[in-house]
Amino acid sequence: MPKTDRIAALKDEITTWRRDFHSNPELLYDVHRTAGIVAEKLASFGCDEVVTGIGRTGVVGVIRGRSSGSGKVIGLRADMDALPIEEETNLPYRSKVSGKMHACGHDGHTAMLLGAARYLAETRDFDGTVVLLFQPAEEGGGGARAMIDDGVMDRFGVQEVYGMHNMPGLPVGSFALRPGPLMAAADRFRIRVEGKGGHAAKPNETIDTLLVSTHIVTALQSIVSRNADPLESAVVSVTAFKAGEAFNVIPQTAELMGTVRTLTPELRDLCETRLKEIVTTIARAFGATATVEYERGYPVTRNHAAQTEFAAGIAAKVAAGAGAVDLEVPPTMGAEDFSFMLEARPGAFIFMGNGDSAGLHHPAYDFNDEAIPVGVGYWATLVETAMPAN
Ligand SMILES: [Zn+2]
Ligand SMILES: [Zn+2]
């Protein structure tokens, strides 16, 4: 049976898996049910190896081609975790767990990679090895890093890695990607300012923490407007400001929180350095003190040039007739855990159309099952093209 027909024939079954994952969302590393089903299915498809517990709850499946003389090993990654969101849909397969929801489509990503595993294990029409990487904790938990720290790349000899994310607003059948930075580095900061509290009627006897903090918030805006190269992108957002509780009291302390998003390591360093300088020197200017906790989160998701060109060619084959491939999609300031895999190995991350759905992380979002054959086709074509059978 030709590949597209075989994949089309699997669509209903993959849809069933996807909807089952959707009904049973799990958060961060606590993806025991999902990982269990993934491991069980991989084994039932006849994968050569299935290993659980990598990066706590990550699962790896290995499929060797009809021959492996090429010595090539390609890693394909899907994420399994959901979000702490209350679902607001009336879908028959809506979340059964209050306060948890697959609002980022990782149910679809997991189901599609399982579908590809089934097809590849059945056909084995390639010369090399495929390593399927099912990771936990994409949504802020660094599950990809945990799997890498557990040695997943070396242990399975992964040479290149590929990842995929659905994209609302992009038509089903279409793809979008770009070489270089595709998604931002996401860092977080917490600033604690301490002045001298006191009676609001005697400000002269206080060091007004609140006034100091507002100057800090204002001055932080100068990092992007005055320090960053205007042709580069950066975001510095203060997202929480906690100080004071009464009409007549100047508070002793204040706490600010926020996020920094950048697309290059240089700008990332610059933002961190300037943020710390601004906070401490402004506090000092007013006679207050301030501390900054700056935590580096996901790095820049940076696509490698050769693998991106290759992935774009695969996307063009799969999209033919159904959609288009945008090779110069603008980067987004969102962040992705797959960035760690792209730091560990060359590879490419691609966006795949989810059609006219609610946005990612929205309570009415749903993965579009019509995209399933497109995603599975992308994985299968990628493997068979990168490691052609003789
Ligand atoms: Zn997400
Ligand atoms: Zn996601």
What spacing in Å lies between the alpha carbon of 297 and ligand 2's midpoint?
15
Q: From the annotation, which residues make up the binding site for Mn(2+)?
A: 104, 106, 139, 165, 361
- Say what the pLDDT of residue 323 is: 80
- Over residues 183-192, the mean pLDDT reads 97
- Say what the pLDDT of residue 321 is: 72
**pLDDT tens-place string over residues 277-320:** 999 999 999 999 999 999 999 999 999 999 999 999 999 999 97
Residues with CB under 5 A from ligand 1 (ion): 104
185-296 has which CATH code?
Answer: 3.30.70.360
CB 335 within 8 A of CB 318: no
What spacing in Å lies between the alpha carbon of 319 and ligand 2's midpoint?
22
- Say what the pLDDT of residue 21 is: 98
Residues contacting 265, CB < 8 A, separation 6+: 185, 299, 300
- CATH 3.30.70.360 maps onto the chain at 185-296
Q: From the annotation, which residues make up the binding site?
A: 104, 106, 139, 165, 361
pLDDT reading at 122 higher than 80: yes
> According to DSSP H, which parts of the chain are helical?
3-23, 32-45, 106-123, 143-149, 152-155, 209-222, 265-285, 305-319, 338-344, 372-386
- Say what the pLDDT of residue 287 is: 98
For tokens 């990550």, name the residue: 58
Sorting pLDDT into bands at 50, 70 and 90, what band is 390?
confident
| Average pLDDT over all residues of the chain | 97
Q: What is the SS3 assignment for 302?
A: strand
The CA distances from residue 332 to 139, 146, 181, 301, in Å, are 16, 24, 9, 10
**pLDDT tens-place string over residues 214-254:** 999 999 999 999 999 999 999 999 999 999 999 999 999 99
What spacing in Å lies between the alpha carbon of 123 and ligand 1's midpoint?
32
What spacing in Å lies between the alpha carbon of 227 and ligand 1's midpoint?
30
What spacing in Å lies between the alpha carbon of 89 and ligand 2's midpoint?
19
Amino acid occupying residue 131: V
Residue 231: in which H helix or E strand, if any?
none
At the top level of CATH, which class does the domain 4-183+300-386 belong to?
alpha beta
**pLDDT tens-place string over residues 332-382:** 999 999 999 999 999 999 999 999 999 999 999 999 999 999 999 999 999
What spacing in Å lies between the alpha carbon of 82 and ligand 1's midpoint?
8
What spacing in Å lies between the alpha carbon of 361 and ligand 1's midpoint?
6
Q: How many other C-beta atoms lie within 10 A of the C-beta of residue 57?
A: 26
pTM above 0.85, yes or no: yes
What spacing in Å lies between the alpha carbon of 210 and ligand 2's midpoint?
37
Ligand nearest to the CA of 167: 2
- CATH 3.40.630.10 maps onto the chain at 4-183+300-386
Over the Cα atoms of the chain, what is R_g? 24
- Say what the pLDDT of residue 153 is: 98
- Over residues 173-182, the mean pLDDT reads 97
What spacing in Å lies between the alpha carbon of 366 and ligand 2's midpoint?
12
CB 103 within 8 A of CB 21: no
